[in-house]
Amino acid sequence: MKKILIIGLILICLVYIWFVVGYFVMGYNLVGVILILVPIIIWLIWKFIKWRKFNREIEEEIERRERLKEEEHQRRERLRSEIDKYLRDALGIMDSVDKWYRDEDEANKELVLYLKSLGVDANYRHRLPNGRTADAIVGDILIEGKVSPNTEGVDRLLGQLCDYTQYGNQVNIVIYGRLEEGARRRVENEIHLRYTGKVFLTYLDNPKRQRAPSVI
């Protein structure tokens, strides 16, 4: 559109030069020159109006998308804050019960059960398009639970984060039991370096919930 306006302006300049030369040097009829200039000017004005309207529509669409993006961000932040509170409340309830969790499945099922008791729309297990399965899902936030993870458990967790976040989902890691200082630093550093705003960590660091010893 801008090219058309530039070409139109060049045409007007050429016609104007032709008019000046013709009128003063060659004695051309002024009315004839005006009849040539007027349609070109009208055409240029029409094109300019269309160009301005098109630009306004583009600007309005950009503003609309930015507004929707900001609203979605705020919605996710509110949901994130609510879920963190509900997770802590559920972990608090779980820790008030004198029970050991021998594996993650048992702990995750109880977490979902307690979340539902708090009125949260939580579901146990959620299959992703890549075939991976998250432990649970609350809204559009995936939950990955670990029972007092050791070094191997943390390694596996960090690998899972890459799979879980590639579809735009936020992920909340839930630790049942104690998260050792070294493991905590590794997880928090990974979140800070690669998953800021995408992955969150919730734990109460209760030693009572450490992985129970195997029964011989």
- Does residue 170 fall inside a structural domain? yes
Residue 47: per-residue pLDDT = 73
CA atoms within 13 A on the CB side of 17: 5
Q: How many CB atoms lie within 10 A of CB 2?
A: 8
Tally the domains of the chain.
Answer: 2
Q: Which pLDDT belongs to residue 144?
A: 92
Residues 22 and 128 reside in one and the same domain: no
Does residue 183 share a domain with residue 92? yes
DSSP-derived secondary structure for 62-82: HHHHHHHHHHHHHHHHHHHHH
pLDDT at position 2, please? 56
DSSP class of residue 168 equals: S
Strand order in the sheet with 199-203: 122-127, 133-138, 141-147, 170-176, 199-203
> Do 124 and 191 sit in the same domain of this protein?
yes
Q: Do 102 and 192 lie in a common domain?
A: yes
- pTM (2 decimals)? 0.61
- pLDDT for 213 equals 41
Last residue of a domain, one of 68, 96, 125: 68
Is the backbone of residue 27 left (phi > 0), alpha (psi -120 to 50) or beta?
Answer: left
112 and 60 in a common domain: no
Amino acid sitting at position 102: R
- CA dihedral 72→75→80→86, nearest 10 degrees, is -150
Assign residue 170 a region (left: φ > 0; alpha: ψ between -120 and 50; beta: otherwise): beta
Where helices occur in 96-180 by DSSP H, the ranges are 104-117, 151-165
Radius of gyration of the chain (CA): 33
How deeply is 28 buried, as exposed, middle or buried, from its count of CB atoms within 10 A (0-12, 13-18, 19+)? middle
Structural domain including 120 reads 75-209
Residue 214 confidence (pLDDT): 39
Provide φ and ψ at 123, rounded to 5°: -130, 135
Q: Which pLDDT belongs to residue 149?
A: 85
Q: Which of 68, 101, 118 is the last residue of a domain?
A: 68
Q: Do residues 173 and 202 make contact, with C-beta atoms less than 8 angstroms apart?
A: yes
Q: Are residues 15 and 117 in the same domain?
A: no
Tokens of 151: 């070094």
Residues 148 and 84 placed together within one structural domain of the fold? yes
For residues 23 and 52, state if they share a domain: yes
pLDDT of residue 210: 46
**Residue at 216 is within a domain:** no
Q: Which of 68, 102, 120 is the last residue of a domain?
A: 68
Do 86 and 63 belong together in one domain?
no
Mean pLDDT by 10 residues, the chain (216 residues): 60 62 54 62 73 82 86 72 82 74 84 87 88 87 88 88 83 85 89 88 65 39
Written as six digits, the tokens of 174 are 């839930």
